Amino acid sequence: MPVHLPQLTRREFLKRAALAGAAAAFTPEIHAGIFGKPRDKQAVDFFSDVHISADAAKINLGANMTEQFTSCIGELAAWRVKPAAVIINGDLAFQRALPEDYAQFGKLIEPARTLAPIHLSLGNHDGRENFWSAFPADATKASATLHRQATMFSTADANWFLLDSLIATNVTPGEVGVTQLDWLTHNLDLHPEKPAMVVVHHHPQFEDDVPGLKDTDSFMAALSSRRQVKAVIFGHTHNWHVSQHESGIHLINLPPTAYVFKTGRPSGWVHATFTHGGADFELRCLDPKHPEHAQVKTLRWRAA
């Protein structure tokens, strides 16, 4: 049951904002110009580990999650162009995936829905039933067998595969699972024509101690043999980092929008611009004085 939040029209946004106060993330200047901005069909923006609590004043590890998410959405709204898509990659809720957390999350993302379609995936602090119940008008049943938050969509220069690595709410490790991996490989084989980006909340776990994907070996083996797969994009560790697997697949660890686990690491969001042969991933820190703010990682895709 994938959930895609379609882009809102100006009329829809103003009507909903009047009811819910959702326009708070926008300054008057941003709001006045956003609907006339051009769209960059090669751009995709990423948020991860937003950890929204029903309590807007909630602070964890020194971060107010609501304020930081709102600030990131405001920065995205102020960007010079609108993206083709926005992906929010898991841990949407604070810890235990309460219905009230998702209600608050839904209000906070309303302004971002004026920019582009939003694609949502789940992490280990999410809960499928409460999540799906929070967006009943936008949830579409894809497969009764899969019963996961997995889907595929396309942009100008890539096919996107969003996976669900949630085992159980508030259980740290993740898993793709045999059924979902079969779905993924089947759909990859049906779509070899564009570079494939695989998005999953948990990180492929190699030598690090942070619990990630329990089935990393089978997952990476399936992707490595399919040359159209160019990158795996994930969150979970709350640590911005870009590396490359021995197969040539790029491994992109998104920063948290919420709190960091290690003092000094950046929080914020990522703006990516795709070309036929690669992509630029730009880190946008909440702290503009952070030494990694505006850092650009230029990636070249492995040969088909």
According to CATH, the superfamily of the domain at 4-300 is Metallo-dependent phosphatases (3.60.21.10)
Q: pLDDT at position 140, please?
A: 58
Question: At 170, which amino acid appears?
Answer: N
Compute the distance between CA of residue 216 and CA of residue 74 in angstroms, rounded to an integer: 36
Q: pLDDT at position 9, please?
A: 77
Long-range residue pairs from 247-253, CB within 8 A, at least 24 positions apart, any chain: 247/220, 247/223, 247/302, 248/302, 248/303, 249/220, 249/223, 249/224, 249/302, 250/299, 251/203, 251/204, 252/281, 252/297, 253/203
Compute the distance between CA of residue 82 and CA of residue 98 in angstroms, rounded to an integer: 31
pTM of the full structure: 0.93
Per-residue pLDDT tens, the chain, 304 aa: give them. 678 888 887 777 777 666 655 444 454 444 556 677 889 999 999 999 999 999 999 999 999 999 999 999 999 989 999 999 999 999 999 999 999 999 999 999 988 888 999 999 999 999 999 999 998 877 655 444 467 889 999 999 999 999 999 999 999 999 999 999 999 999 999 999 999 999 999 999 997 778 999 999 999 999 999 999 999 999 999 999 999 999 999 999 999 999 999 999 999 999 999 998 999 999 999 999 999 999 999 999 999 8
Compute the distance between CA of residue 161 and CA of residue 150 in angstroms, rounded to an integer: 7
Q: pLDDT at position 99, please?
A: 97
Put the strands of the sheet holding 4-5 in their side by side order: 4-5, 118-121, 82-89, 39-47, 268-274, 278-285, 296-300
Kindly list the distances between the CA atom of residue 174 and the CA atoms of 46, 90, 208, in Å, as whole numbers in the listed order: 20, 12, 15
Q: pLDDT at position 135, please?
A: 86
Q: pLDDT at position 2, please?
A: 74
Kindly list the distances between the CA atom of residue 131 and the CA atoms of 1, 198, 203, in Å, as whole numbers in the listed order: 11, 21, 22
Domain boundaries, the chain: 4-300
Select from 74, 66, 154 the least CA-distant residue to 111. Answer: 74
Q: pLDDT at position 21, please?
A: 54
Select from 129, 59, 121, 114 the least CA-distant residue to 82. Answer: 114
